[in-house]
Amino acid sequence: MARKILAAGNWKMNMTPTEAKTLITELVEKCKGAKNDVLVCPPLVDLPAVLEIAKGTNVKVGAQNFYYMDKGAYTGEVSADMLKDLGVEYVIIGHSERREYFSETDEIINKKVTKALEKGLIPVLCCGESLQQREDNVTFDFIRTQIKIALRGVSKEDMTKIVIAYEPIWAIGTGKVATSEQANEVCADIRNCLAAIYDQETADRTTILYGGSVNKDCAAELFAMSDIDGGLVGGASLKSEDFSIIANA
C-alpha cells in the first residue's frame, strides 16, 4: 500500500512572528505543487500569522506542543481547543527536547496523544533512543516501550490518524544523520510493533517519519527507504530553499 511522503518542519524556538511571516511566505511560494505533503510547526505565537498566510495552500500547519487539560488554572499553557479554534491541524507530541528539558514522561505523552485525538488534532508522536541506549543495544526495546505507553487506550481507528516520528536523540541537531539502513530498520520495527498492537493493515497505513539532521542532500535517499514515509526536519526547515527541496525529495 502506497503511503504519501510527508515533509514536516519543526521550527522549534526560532522565528519571531515578523520573521515567521517572511519564512512562511517564501515556503508557500517554493512549495507550491510540491510532490510531498508539507507541514510546518512554528512556535505558538507565530501560529496566527502562519495560518493566515498558509490558508488555502498545500502547506499544512501544526503546533509544537499543548497541554492535555481542557481549560483552567494552568498558567502558561495552551489547550487543544485553542489550537483547533485557530485552525491548527497537527501537533508534535513527545519530542525528545520536551522529554529532556520539560520532564515529559511517557504517561504525560499518552495523555496528550489521547486528548489531541479527542479534539481532532493529528498527533505527530515522537520517539527515539539516546546514544547510550543505542550502544547498550536496547534501541528496539526502548522505542517499543515509548510507543506502547504513548498509545495506551488508542483505538485502531484512531491509530490511523497518528503520524509517528522516529528521531534518534544522537542525530538531532548534531549534523550526524542516521544511515538510511539504521533509520529504516527502526521505522520497520515500529511498524511491526504497531502490527502487534493493532494489525498489519493498520501498521501499513501509518505514516512513519525519520527525524535527526535531515537535510536537502540526504532526504531523497531516506524517503526512498521501505518504511520511512518522510521526515521531521528541524534546522533545514528554517531555510525555505532547503525545505522546498525536501518537500520534493
Choose which of 34, 172, 187, 193 interacts with ligand PGA (CB under 6 A): 172
95 in active site = yes
Task: Check residue 232 for interaction with ligand PGA (CB under 6 A).
Answer: yes
Residue placing its CB nearer to ligand PGA in the complex, 152 or 239: 239
Cα distances (Å, whole numbers) of residue 221 to 52, 115, 176, 217: 33, 35, 15, 8
| Minimum distance, C-beta of residue 217 to ligand PGA, in the bound complex (Å) | 13
The DSSP code for 121 is P
Using the contact rule CB under 6 A, the part of the chain among 14-22, 47-55, 62-70, 207-215 near ligand PGA is 207-215
- Count of beta carbons in the 10 Å neighbourhood of residue 91: 24
Task: Check residue 167 for interaction with ligand PGA (CB under 6 A).
Answer: yes
The DSSP code for 15 is -
Give the per-residue contact string, 2-31, with ligand PGA (x = CB under 6 A; - = no).
Answer: --------x---------------------
- Residue type (1 letter), 32: K
Residue placing its CB nearer to ligand PGA in the complex, 65 or 79: 65
Decide: 165 and 232 in contact? Cβ < 8 Å: yes
Choose which of 173, 217, 220, 224 interacts with ligand PGA (CB under 6 A): 173
Catalytic residue among 52, 95, 129, 221: 95
Using the contact rule CB under 6 A, the part of the chain among 134-142, 156-164, 178-186, 206-214 near ligand PGA is 206-214
DSSP-derived secondary structure for 171-218 = GTTSS-PPPHHHHHHHHHHHHHHHHHHS-HHHHHH-EEEEESS--TTT
How many chain residues bind ligand PGA (CB under 6 A)?
12
The single residue listed with the C-alpha cell 539532521 is 213
Q: Phi and psi of 139, rounded to 5°?
A: -50, -55
Name the site residues for ligand PGA (rule: CB under 6 A). 10, 167, 172-173, 211-214, 232-235
